[in-house]
C-alpha cells in the first residue's frame, strides 16, 4: 500500500513571515529547543522527517496520559491518533512562547475531555489533575450542558480531520476504522456486524491504526 503524504505542500506566491526565530525561547530546555527546531522544519519546509520525529517522541506519553483519563487501551489509542492529527493539521497555530510538548498535551487533554463529555463517562475525578510525562499538571473541567456553537464547530472539524486521514487507507481497513471512529462500535459489535472472528477484528484494527500513524508522519520508502 502506498501512503501519500497528507501534509499540505508549500504554496506558491509570497510567503508569510515566520513567527519562529533562529534560536527560539531562551528559557526552553534542551528537549524543548529540539522540538522547536523540528516544528520549525515541519512548518517552513514541510519536512516529513520532522513530523515523524515529533510523533515518535510523544506517541507513547500522549497515549498513557489519555489512558489515565479513559481507562480503555483501544479508546486511548483512538484518541491519541486524533490528538496528533489535530496538532499536525494546526501546527502553524503553535506559539513558540510555550514548549511544543505543553501545546500538544493540551490538545490531547481537551480532545479527551470532549470525548468523555460526549459519553458522559465517570472515568476520572475532575478534582485530580492529569500529569504529563514532563511533570506538568493539567486541570480537568467537564461541562454537563449540551454543546455550544463553538464546541459543535470543533466536533465537526474533528470529524472532518479523521475523514481525511481515513480516506487514505485501503478500503478493507477504512471500513473497520469507520465503524470504530464514526459508528463508535465496540470490537465485539464490529465482529458481529462483519461476521469476522473477534481476534481478526482486533488484529486488523491494530494494523489500520498503525497505518493511520504512518499517514500522520509518512516515511519515504516504507511502502
C-alpha cell at 175: 471500513
Percent of the chain predicted with pLDDT > 90 = 27
CB 141 within 8 A of CB 113: yes
C-alpha cell at 172: 478493507
User: Which stretch of 5-14, 50-59, 134-143, 183-192 has the lowest confidence by average pLDDT?
Assistant: 5-14
Report how far residue 149's alpha carbon sits from residue 113's, in angstroms, rounded to the nearest whole number: 17
**Neighbouring C-beta atoms of residue 88, cutoff 10 Å:** 18
CATH topology of domain 27-133: Rna Polymerase Sigma Factor; Chain: A (1.10.1740)
CB 116 within 8 A of CB 70: yes
Is pTM, for the whole model, over 0.85?
no
CB 30 within 8 A of CB 74: no
Shared fold status for 27-133 and 152-223? no
CATH of segment(s) 152-223: 1.10.10.10
**Neighbouring C-beta atoms of residue 51, cutoff 10 Å:** 25
Residue in the structure block whose three cell numbers are 519546509: 45
The alpha-helical segments, DSSP class H, found in the chain are: 30-45, 48-70, 73-89, 100-119, 149-166, 171-181, 187-194, 198-216
C-alpha cell at 97: 512562547
What's the length of the chain? 223
Q: What pLDDT digit, counting tens, does each position of 138-191 carry? A: 544 444 445 556 556 656 666 777 777 788 788 888 888 888 877 888 889 999
In the chain, what are the domain boundaries?
27-133, 152-223
Report how far residue 54's alpha carbon sits from residue 71's, in angstroms, rounded to the nearest whole number: 25
CB 42 within 8 A of CB 123: no
Amino acid at each position: 500500500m502506498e501512503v501519500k503524504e497528507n501534509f499540505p505542500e508549500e504554496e506558491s506566491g509570497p510567503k508569510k513571515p515566520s513567527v519562529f526565530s533562529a534560536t527560539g525561547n531562551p528559557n526552553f530546555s534542551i528537549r524543548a529547543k529540539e522540538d522547536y527546531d523540528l516544528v520549525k522544519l515541519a512548518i517552513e519546509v514541510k519536512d516529513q522527517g520532522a513530523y515523524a520525529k515529533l510523533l515518535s517522541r510523544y506517541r507513547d506519553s500522549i497515549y498513557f496520559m489519555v489512558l489515565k483519563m479513559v481507562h480503555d487501551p483501544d479508546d486511548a489509542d483512538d484518541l491519541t491518533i486524533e490528538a496528533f492529527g489535530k496538532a499536525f493539521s494546526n501546527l502553524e497555530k503553535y506559539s513558540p512562547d510555550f514548549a511544543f510538548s505543553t501545546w500538544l498535551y493540551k490538545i490531547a487533554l481537551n480532545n479527551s475531555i470532549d470525548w468523555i463529555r460526549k459519553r458522559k463517562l465517570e472515568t476520572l475525578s475532575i478534582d485530580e489533575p492529569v500529569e504529563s510525562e514532563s511533570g506538568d499538571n493539567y486541570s480537568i473541567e467537564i461541562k454537563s450542558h449540551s454543546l455550544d456553537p463553538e464546541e459543535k464547530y470543533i466536533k465537526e472539524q474533528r470529524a472532518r480531520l479523521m475523514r481525511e486521514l481515513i480516506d487514505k487507507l485501503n478500503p478493507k481497513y477504512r471500513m473497520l476504522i469507520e465503524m470504530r471512529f464514526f459508528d463508535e462500535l465496540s470490537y465485539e459489535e464490529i465482529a458481529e456486524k462483519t461476521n469476522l472472528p473477534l481476534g481478526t477484528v482486533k488484529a486488523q484494527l491494530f494494523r489500520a491504526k498503525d497505518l493511520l500513524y504512518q499517514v500522520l508522519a509518512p516515511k519515504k520508502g516504507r511502502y
